[in-house]
Amino acid sequence: MSRFGKSLHQRWDEDDESDDDDLLILAGLIEGSKRNKRKKNFRGSLPGRHSVRRGILGGHDGIFRDYFADPCIYNNKHFRRRFWMSKTLFLRIVAAVESHDDYFRQKPNAVGALGASPIQKSIAAVRMLAYDVSADFLDDYVRLGESTIIECLKYFVKAIVEVFNEQYLRAPNAEDTARFMAINHARGWPGMLGSIDCMHWKWDKCPTAWRGAYTGHKDGPTMILEAVASQDLWIWHAFFDLPGSLNDVNVLRRSPLFQSLTSGTAPELEYIVNGNKYNIGYYLADGIYPPWATFVKAFHSPQGNKKTYFTRAQQAARKDVERAFGVLQSRFTMVRGPARLWSKEDLWYIMQCCVLLHNMIVEDEREEPDDFNYHQEPNGIRVLKPKDYERRDPLLLNDFLKIHEEIEDRSSHERLRDDLVEHLWARYSAR
């Protein structure tokens, strides 16, 4: 190739390279212009987010002036109506969670400014539970950000469960059993331990892949709470997190309700109904539950005055657990409306926390009549502590199977129900 042609080819290559460089420079300028535009809106930790100077200490001062100062703006009656508990109980809860979890202690941040107080964090969590409001709705009162309020809720419910679970959601001991057996004996139900039923909690944020497993006869996916309640609305047993596609019998088969009875750690009791002696307490249940010795159900189609009266009395007494569900949902609206969290673990802690707070409120507001002795032993009723708890192995197969046979004995169920029919009719006739 000639010298002239070779130099011309080189110039074409150089022009191509310069064009590529120009394109790269132009792309860089365009990207830089976009960054500059985004930079103008940068006001916080993320592009486009405005940094809010909330005044966290001012939020604490406002709460303190409203409810805890002397004198305060809103009295104890206002506090009870807005938080569903007394001020004394609330301060006791705040002290307990603060001593249990370092998260609730007021600490300085990186620049030395004090953060939120334990009262601020606890009020944010309790108001979310009580009113089922969004975290952003509480920002202008407690002066905490949305993510911080959600974090407070998760830490609060976990601390409540870890601190109070053994005390306020325990299996009934001998004293507890004697107490509500005496109450139920006075109501006409000797040997009754409470009433049992299930409640559904709608899960709004259920993952799509799980919706089929969690959808049953209710509208949309739900999770089930199995509970046993007494007349004073105390919830003695709470089993939660099973999918809503199950019915009450499926939940019962997975429930630890009879764990203390099968392991030999339940209090020993004896009571007499219509002249016959029984040594296993029972729960009032609706028609779906199996005909076991531990359940007393109403007649589906009662015939005669005795069975008709028994059915009405059983349905009236069984409303104890329905009333407990109603009060639980009215106190904590979060468990009445759809659950808007993604994690099953978070929902479990929220439900357990609400049940524990419910029992704490029941204990705090319980008014016992002075003329009734809850520790009395009515005629024919005896409650003792388990004698062989220290030396019996609860995993012995023969004892385990024997107790299960006694629990699921259909003939004992029918015999007990017939005796209760006669017992209640005799009480009704004696009036």
Q: What share of the chain has pLDDT > 70, as a percent?
A: 82
- What b/e string do you get for 76-98 counting C-beta neighbours within 10 Å, with b at 16 or more? eeebbebbbbbbebbeebbebbb
Query: Mean per-residue pLDDT for 59-64?
Result: 88
For 150, 215, 349, the CA distances from 211, given in Å and listed in that order, are 25, 6, 21
Please name the residues in contact with 377: beta carbons below 8 A apart, sequence gap of 6 or more.
178, 182, 383
* 126-130, 180-184, 366-370: the lowest-pLDDT one: 366-370
Q: Is the pLDDT of residue 153 over 90?
A: yes
Q: What is the pLDDT of residue 100?
A: 94
DSSP string for 287-299: TTS---TTEEE--
| Pick from 269, 264, 258: nearest CA to 236 | 258
Q: Quickly list DSSP for 38-105.
A: HHHT-BSSSTTPBPP---HHHHHHHHIIIIISSS-SS-HHHHHHHHSS-HHHHHHHHHHHHHH-GGGS
User: What is the predicted pLDDT for the residue at 394?
Assistant: 53
pLDDT, position 51: 67
pLDDT at 45: 52
- 406-258-216 Cα angle (round to 5): 110
**Digit-coded pLDDT (tens) for 196-214:** 999 999 999 999 999 999 9
Q: Where are the domains of the chain?
A: 56-167, 174-429
- Phi/psi for 269 (5° steps) reads -145, 155
Decide if pLDDT at 317 tops 80: yes
Could you give the CA distance from residue 126 to residue 143 in angstroms, rounded to a whole number?
A: 15
Q: What is the pLDDT of residues 74-107, one digit of tens each?
A: 899 999 999 989 999 999 999 999 999 999 998 8
User: Residue range 214-230: average pLDDT?
Assistant: 92
pLDDT digits 0-9 by tens, 319-363: 999 999 999 999 999 999 898 888 999 999 999 999 999 999 999
Adjacent-strand bridge partners of 202: 222
227-286 per-position pLDDT tens digit: 999 999 999 999 998 999 999 999 999 998 888 787 777 888 888 998 899 988 999 999
The pLDDT score that the predictor gives to residue 180 is 82
Q: pLDDT digit string (tens) for 5-38?
A: 445 455 445 555 566 666 777 777 777 666 665 5
Q: Per the structure block, which two tokens stand in for 363?
A: 């204990």
Nearest to 352 by CA among 230, 259, 223, 250: 223
Query: Could you tell me the pTM of the whole model?
Result: 0.82
CA distance 193 to 180: 7
d(CA 271, CA 266) in angstroms, rounded, equals: 15
pLDDT at 194 over 80: yes
The model's pLDDT over 380-429, given as tens digits with 9 standing for 90+, comes to 566 666 654 444 555 566 777 788 888 888 999 999 999 999 999 998 88
Max CA distance (Å), the chain: 132
In whole numbers, what is the pLDDT of the chain averaged over residues? 84
Q: How confident is the model at residue 389, as a pLDDT? A: 43
Instruction: Describe the strand order of the beta sheet including 235-243 as a list of residue ranges.
Output: 235-243, 222-229, 192-202, 282-285, 295-297
> Residue 262: what pLDDT?
78
Confidence at residue 219, expressed as pLDDT on a 0 to 100 scale: 85
What pLDDT, on a 0 to 100 scale, did the predictor assign at position 124? 93
Report the sign of the C-alpha dihedral through residues 242, 245, 248, 249, in that order.
Answer: negative
DSSP label at 339? B
Lookup: tokens for 352: 């357990």
